[in-house]
Amino acid sequence: MPGDIPNPPAAPAPVVIPRAEHNISRADISPNALKVLYRLRDAGFRACLVGGGVRDLLLGREPKDFDVATDAHPEEIRALFRNCRLIGRRFRLAHVIFGREVIEVATFRAAPEAETGAAALSDEGRILRDNVYGTIEEDAWRRDFTVNALYYDIADFSVIDYVGGMADIQAGRLRLIGDPEARYREDPVRMLRAARFAAKLGFRIDPPSEAPITELSPLLFDIAPARLFEEVLKLFLGGEALETFELLRHYDLFGKLFPFTEEVLGEEEETDHFPHMLVVHALRNTDERIAAGKPVTPAFLFAAFLWEAMRRRMPDYDVPGMSEIQAIQIAAGEIIAEQARHTSIPRRFSQPMREIWTLQPRFLNRNGRRPQRLLAHPRFRAAYDFLLLRGQAGEVDQALCDWWTEFQQRNPEEQAGMVTPEPRSGRRRRRRRRQRKPDS
């Protein structure tokens, strides 16, 4: 039911794991996070690492970031740190900034109660505001998954567990805190987080937490496209994109993010299968680049997701006055605009997508100076990688991909020998006579 948010037992009795019985070492914690923890502690506040950082340290992984929870209120945190700024309305947070590293500090929160006026739930049970401060016990019970509700207390270096998170880590189990349906209705993005954490950690989703996902997946249509874009970056740029994609499709979540892509993939049995393989190769390529420490861009992945959907929108370019590139430009504008109503795509990514797509027909023209001009295009490398992706998926002839691979490796004289000469027109171009200026 709406508002059915888990509350701690009347007298919560946490499991406290002393320093000697867990593997977290301060040597593995960011020095800046330690500075924040120590300063809060020295000022008389309780301060703990919490969330994914604690979870990853217990699993022997290197955390991407370190979050701190405390009984200090945001204004009190800001008073302690000159390098602090407060952000958010729904969740009032403090960001303590150390150069490029940001340590997020949150005040312990209690479960929101609609009648208080300080926090509110929608009629569907979704959190609208959440600035009700509470105790560490209350804070633990309002978090999403048990494995994310473990606290590393800087006071004595112990790990505090109110909800059975340590047992779930040891069992490789991802379990929601409280009633799963109510928690998903409270924030439907938790369904995406369940798939992401299951793929990232290699955990299985606990059956009661798994059961409602497919039925409740349409709730994602009510989430702001801008927020879903941020979630998509986490889903597919974390190093487990392919596994995450498979889980999202299994739970009928992917189609809520990319409905046009899902429509194409759902018809793959009736086609030559290359749309599905194009997406799979793009995801695998993304994972490989991340594993190798190479840069990745969402534009390339989105171009792969929406390529076939865009092609199906292309108008007939056999009509007079319509080129294939013009047809791509028309279809690209339509599909990107419609996709943005589900998952937004900022212009800094949508524009490179368009260029990757519109350069594809130019790879077919290997006459005269055109290959050299294409090679000099600032988006050539991304477009070439996309061509290789199409070749791997069986959409274009592999010989075309091999030609362009070889062409880049040759010197200018050798490149000139690889291209087809431009056909000479039979008409001789008349030189325009330069007019003389009249004498002044």
| Residue 28 bears catalytic tag | no
Residue type, position 273, single letter? H
Q: How much of the chain, in percent, has pLDDT values that exceed 90?
A: 78
29 domain residue, yes or no: yes
Last residue of a domain, one of 123, 156, 186: 186
Last residue of a domain, one of 139, 162, 186: 186
Domain CATH number, residue 386: 1.10.3090.10
Residue showing tokens 């150069």:
99
Residue type, position 407, single letter? F
If pLDDT is split at 50, 70 and 90, which confidence band does 123 have? low
Mean pLDDT score across all residues of the chain: 89
185-228 tens-digit pLDDT: 999 999 999 999 999 999 999 999 999 999 999 999 999 999 99
Same domain assignment for residues 176 and 30: yes
Round to whole Å and give the CA distance between 66 and 49. Answer: 7
- Cβ atoms < 10 Å from Cβ of 19: 14
224 domain residue, yes or no: no
Retrieve residue 46's tokens. Answer: 């309780």
Lowest mean pLDDT among 125-129, 267-271, 292-296: 125-129
Same domain assignment for residues 145 and 269: no
Output the CA–CA distances (angstroms, integers) from residue 116 to 107, 111, 143, 183, 307, in the order listed: 18, 11, 20, 20, 49
290 domain residue, yes or no: yes
Round to whole Å and give the CA distance between 371 and 376. Answer: 9
Same domain assignment for residues 296 and 159: no
Q: What is the pLDDT of residue 322?
A: 85
Mean pLDDT of 109-114: 69
Catalytic residue among 71, 130, 144, 161: 144
If pLDDT is split at 50, 70 and 90, which confidence band does 118 have? very low
Catalytic residue among 67, 71, 139, 168: 67
Same domain assignment for residues 79 and 175: yes
Round to whole Å and give the CA distance between 382 and 380. Answer: 6
Distance of CA 164 to the CA centre of its chain: 28
Beta bridge partners of 107: 70
> Domain range holding 326?
264-418
Q: Check if the beta carbon of residue 120 is closer than 8 Å to that of residue 81.
A: no
Instruction: Answer whether residue 253 shows pLDDT above 50.
Output: yes
If pLDDT is split at 50, 70 and 90, which confidence band does 119 have? very low
Same domain assignment for residues 278 and 392: yes
Catalytic residue among 65, 179, 187, 385: 65
CA atoms within 13 A on the CB side of 373: 8
Last residue of a domain, one of 133, 163, 186: 186
Q: What is the pLDDT of residue 272?
A: 52
Domain CATH number, residue 29: 3.30.460.10
What would the 3-class secondary structure string for the chain be?
A: CCCCCCCCCCCCCCEEECHHHCCCCHHHCCHHHHHHHHHHHHCCCCEEEECHHHHHHHCCCCCCCCEEEECCCHHHHHHHCCCEEEECCCCCEEEEEECCEEEEEEECECCCCHHHCCEEECCCCCEEEECCECCHHHHHHCCCEHHHCEEEECCCCEEEECCCHHHHHHHCEECECCCHHHHHHHCCHHHHHHHHHHHHHCCEECHHHHCCHHHHHHHHHHCCHHHHHHHHHHHHCCCCHHHHHHHHHHCCCHHHHCHHHHHHHHCHHHCCCHHHHHHHHHHHHHHHHHHCCCCCCHHHHHHHHHHHHHHHHCCCCCCCCCCHHHHHHHHHHHHHHHHCCCCCCCHHHHHHHHHHHHHHHHHHCCECCHHHHHHCCCCHHHHHHHHHHHHHCCCCCHHHHHHHHHHHHCCHHHHHHHCECCCCCCCCCCCCCCCCCCCC
27 domain residue, yes or no: yes
Lowest mean pLDDT among 108-112, 283-287, 368-372: 108-112
Same domain assignment for residues 318 and 174: no
Same domain assignment for residues 21 and 164: yes
369 domain residue, yes or no: yes
If pLDDT is split at 50, 70 and 90, which confidence band does 321 have? confident
Mean pLDDT of 49-73: 96
| Residue 439 bears catalytic tag | no
Same domain assignment for residues 182 and 269: no
Lowest mean pLDDT among 122-136, 261-275, 299-313: 122-136
If pLDDT is split at 50, 70 and 90, which confidence band does 439 have? low
Lowest mean pLDDT among 24-38, 123-137, 340-354: 123-137
Domain count, the chain: 2
Between these two residues, 403 and 2, which has the higher pLDDT value?
403
- Cβ atoms < 10 Å from Cβ of 63: 19
Same domain assignment for residues 177 and 281: no
Beta bridge partners of 47: 70
Residue type, position 326, single letter? Q
Same domain assignment for residues 36 and 165: yes
255 domain residue, yes or no: no
289 domain residue, yes or no: yes
Q: What is the pLDDT of residue 431?
A: 54
Instruction: Answer whether residue 395 shows pLDDT above 70.
Output: yes
Residue showing tokens 């978090």:
143
Same domain assignment for residues 27 and 176: yes
243 domain residue, yes or no: no
Same domain assignment for residues 402 and 310: yes
If pLDDT is split at 50, 70 and 90, which confidence band does 3 have? very low
Output the CA–CA distances (angstroms, integers) from residue 309 to 218, 313, 328, in the order listed: 21, 7, 11
Round to whole Å and give the CA distance between 298 and 269. Answer: 27
Q: What is the pLDDT of residue 89?
A: 75
Mean pLDDT of 253-279: 83
146-185 tens-digit pLDDT: 999 999 999 999 999 999 999 999 999 999 999 999 999 9
Instruction: Answer whether residue 340 shows pLDDT above 90.
Output: yes
| Residue 187 bears catalytic tag | no
